Amino acid sequence: MSILSKMISPPHSRATGIGSLPNLDPLEACQDVLEIFPAFPYIPSLPRRGLLERIVFNDSEQLPGRIIRDERLFFDSNSDQTAAMEQVYMDYVEKNFAPYAMHTEYSSAFTEMMMHKLPEVSILKFQITGPVTFGMQVVDEAKRPIYFDSQLADVLGKMLALKARWCEAEMQEKTGVKETLIVLDEPYLASLGSSVVPIDREMVRAGWEDAAALVEGGLGVHCCSNTDWEFIIGLNPSVVSFDAYTTAKEFLLYADTIIAYMEQGGVVAWGIVPSDPQLFITETTDSLYTRYLDIRTQLCCRMPEELFDAQSLITPSCGIRFADRPTARAIMLSAAEISHRIQKKNLT
């Protein structure tokens, strides 16, 4: 059984965001988030600002042997990285997370959000790259993903755990929020069970447990494709975040596991609003609300509505990187409106 992450307070169907926004101005991006998701804000990534703010790159600063070449990340396997790797191990054992800071050039919105005092906010969310996705995107000099090297995968899990710990500590200290939630962004978990891109479950579990053992607040996982949800929920994350717009049917095949998870305090972030602008324009908030109620009905015939609503979040399906700012706002506002309708429904 995996290490139990600290469960967050029931979000009661509040709305929040996922990952990236198209904004170039970090102040503008943070203001949009705080306006639309005042009760459960998140810190967005802003990949349009430059290479270092893109997924994987934004968490790569402390990677031993890092090389950036032709807009790709490489691990320098031609040089001896033993000392740097041993330092990561030592820092992990000693819980020395200070060297794993998130600097402005890697996350301008993080720096910006840290300038906002948020003592009335119940929880603040931030997303970092998970070790599987990170390790599959970084290759050695032979162009082999470093995740397939068990020692490098182990170092990577511990490095990202230290970064997650630094982020949550900084979030609490600078903003004054009561709770924090760090979510590992893991699109590559869609490869679980694949014969084409084999991902070892025990390596996934080990990387997860490295983070769960160090992070003191909430620790969640986001995967925007279908995966082995039985395994993912079995990791005991605080929050399971997924693309409910596209993959709800597959997710609900695990209804017994989902219900047991929510009964134990787990939260499901239902990504019911498509983050793809081309899909979003084919829907209305009414149609998305109806789609969400269909999901709710399927589970609530086997569990109390009160429990479902208490342990649910409403979100976009993924990051909103490929929209313009007005469309990104519309997507977030749609999630917020669905949340409002559910909460209003519970008052009547």
119: CATH: 3.20.20.210
Query: Would residue 129 be called left, alpha or beta, if left means φ above 0 and alpha means ψ between -120 and 50 degrees?
Result: beta
Strand-pair partners of 240:
221, 268
- What is the C-alpha separation between 237 and 232, in angstroms, rounded? 8
11 belongs to a structural domain:
no
The distance of Cα 58 from the centroid of its chain, to the nearest Å, equals: 14
Output Rg (C-alpha) for the chain, integer angstroms: 19
CA distances from 134 to 59, 104, 229, 309 (A): 9, 20, 20, 33
Burial of residue 10 (CB within 10 Å: 0-12, 13-18, 19+) is: middle
CB atoms within 10 A of CB 104: 14
- What is the C-alpha separation between 26 and 327, in angstroms, rounded? 17
98 belongs to a structural domain:
yes
For the chain, the domain total comes to 1
Tokens for 222?
């986001």
**Which residue's entry shows tokens 């909460």?**
343
| Span 260-309, pLDDT tens digits | 999 999 999 999 999 999 999 999 999 999 999 999 999 999 999 999 99
φ, ψ at 272 (rounded to 5°): -85, -15
**Which residue's entry shows tokens 């000099």?**
141
| Span 123-182, pLDDT tens digits | 999 999 999 999 999 999 899 999 999 999 999 999 999 999 999 999 999 999 999 999
Query: Beta strand pairing status for 123-129 and 72-75?
Result: unpaired
pLDDT value of residue 348: 64
292 belongs to a structural domain:
yes
pLDDT value of residue 31: 98
Find out whether 43 and 109 touch, Cβ atoms under 8 Å.
yes
Question: What is the pLDDT confidence band of residue 195, given thresholds at 50, 70 and 90?
Answer: low
The mean pLDDT value for 65-89 works out to: 95
Model confidence, pTM: 0.96
**Which residue's entry shows tokens 């990340």?**
73
3 belongs to a structural domain:
no
192 belongs to a structural domain:
yes
21 belongs to a structural domain:
no
13 belongs to a structural domain:
no
How many alpha carbons fall within 13 Å on the CB side of residue 256? Answer: 0
pLDDT value of residue 3: 66
Query: Would residue 54 be called left, alpha or beta, if left means φ above 0 and alpha means ψ between -120 and 50 degrees?
Result: beta
Find out whether 17 and 44 touch, Cβ atoms under 8 Å.
yes
Range of the domain at 285: 26-347
Which is nearest to 341 in space by CA: 281, 261, 284, 267?
Answer: 284
Residues 6+ away with beta carbon under 8 Å from 40 = 11, 14, 15, 16, 121, 122, 123, 125, 313
pLDDT value of residue 1: 52
303 belongs to a structural domain:
yes
Find out whether 9 and 40 touch, Cβ atoms under 8 Å.
no
